[in-house]
Amino acid sequence: MLPPNTRRSLPMALLRAREVIMAHFRPMLARHDITEQQWRVLRVLAEAGPLEATELANRASILPPSLTRIIKAMEERQFISRDKVKNDGRRALLAISPAGLALIEDLSPERIAIYDAIERRYGAEQHEHLLDLLESLIQSESSENQT
């Protein structure tokens, strides 16, 4: 319960940890001219199938205004498509296109190799343990037990 100083606090540690991880993936994404967020959108749609914008935003951890822009860009590049939902003119179903799927397939081997290398360096057990602890943290805070 000590006052957190910057060097050992969750906000800074989580930020730095994410940075060192993403640094490994960015060159791959840059070579294919897609952003980290666009990549998340594609992955989520590929895994979950067609989704409405709100659900997609939640699953990809992207805020609605950002998602609006991302969808626009990726529709133009033909990586995703949208279809109106009947009986509700507000909603639309977003789906990954064949080209989008192809991109994911293309990058899959490299993506897995990068991730495996990280896991190998870090250790499989620590890796699993870290994921568990993060999941638990997300759980304990997202259900809003107040500040």
CB–CB of 42/80 below 8 Å? yes
Interface positions, 94-123, toward a second copy (CB under 8 A): 108, 111-122
Distance CA 118, CA 23 (A): 11
- Alpha-carbon distances, residue 103 vs 64, 72, 106, 118, 140 (angstroms): 24, 18, 5, 22, 36
30 counts as binding a second copy under rule CB under 8 A = no
Binding mask 27-66 toward DNA (x if CB under 7 A, else -) reads: ---x----xxxx-------------xxx-------xxxxx
Give the count of residues interacting with DNA (CB under 7 A). Answer: 29
Residue type, 110: E
Number of residues in the chain: 147
CB–CB of 37/70 below 8 Å? yes
- CB-nearer residue toward DNA: 9 or 66: 66
By CB under 7 A, name the one of 67, 80, 96, 103 that touches DNA.
67
137 counts as binding a second copy under rule CB under 8 A = yes
- CB-nearer residue toward a second copy: 76 or 141: 141
- CB-nearer residue toward DNA: 87 or 140: 87
CB–CB of 88/129 below 8 Å? no
| Burial (CB count within 10 angstroms: exposed 0-12, middle 13-18, buried 19+), residue 132 | exposed
* Interface positions with a second copy (CB under 8 A): 1, 3-25, 27, 36, 40, 43-44, 47, 59-61, 108, 111-122, 124, 126-127, 129-131, 133-138, 140-142, 145-147
* Interface positions with DNA (CB under 7 A): 19, 22, 26, 30, 35-38, 52-54, 62-73, 87-92
